[in-house]
Amino acid sequence: MPLETRKSAPTGQQKKDDDPMTITTGLATREGTAQDNADAARVYVLEDGIVGAAVIDGIGHGPHTSRTAPLLAETAARISARRGPLGGLLAASELIADRGADGEEADAVAVAVRVRPDDDIAVVNWTGDARAYGWDGARLELYTDDHTVGKQLRANGVSVKIAREHDNWLRTSLARATIGTVYTAGIRDQVVILTSDGVHDQMPADILEDLVREHQDAPQALADALVAAARPDETGYRDDATAIVVRIGQQTGR
């Protein structure tokens, strides 16, 4: 369900036209062709209107991962709203940092955001290859770097063909997260989009941007469209696909 929160900026931080800031969100997830949905996402809104949101992409499939991913997403979203997304992801990390007696504790990659109604910068933290995009009304920009071996090889001059073969090898994950491996970005754009790789890896970049342009004013419609647009690869495999959309703007005439 889409969520909406409004809060006037405090004294000394009034927006130019004194209209309240509005944060509207949308969330969608779709199971892929594997055993079950190892993705999860949550949006949490504090009493003062601050929004925390997180997308979790579980590594592998199976009942244990699908049970744990929603817990990680809930923890990350709630703590992100209260303490920021760095704290949110590190708190979620503690839930799976120990492999457990059977050595089969779940692992994941993740991206989280906190948006304040009185601040024009959304703070994003991530680990692994979950992503955050920003849309300013004219262009879509990727604000995160995938923490994969393939990405690192390309950054160091290795050919795209060779590097692509290592895109599924993660350099870090949520269970191993530290302050040094959870990266931070600030986004000033009016729309922030969080995705699992089942979205951004399974559709061309131009289609993703076209969908954002078409649905930029309707976060739930955009989240639904992004998840629905993910297509199977040449083998017929389609990954779990999950997206959160956060729109930050000012509402007039209310």
Note the pLDDT tens digit of each residue in 196-247. 999 999 999 999 999 999 999 999 999 999 999 999 888 888 889 999 999 9
> DSSP code of 148?
B
Is pLDDT of 57 > 70?
A: yes
Cα distances (Å, whole numbers) of residue 146 to 117, 129, 166 = 29, 4, 12
Beta strands in the chain (DSSP E): 3-7, 21-30, 39-45, 51-58, 108-115, 122-127, 131-135, 140-142, 183-187, 191-195, 241-250
Question: What gap in Å lies between CA 170 and CA 148, rounded to an integer?
Answer: 4
In the predicted model, what is the mean pLDDT of the chain?
Answer: 84
What structural domains does the chain harbor? 3-145+174-249 (3.60.40.10)
Which of 25-34, 140-149, 164-173, 232-241 is modeled with the greatest confidence?
25-34
What is the reported pLDDT for 146?
80
What is the reported pLDDT for 12?
35
What's the pTM? 0.84
What is the reported pLDDT for 9?
35
43 three-class SS: strand
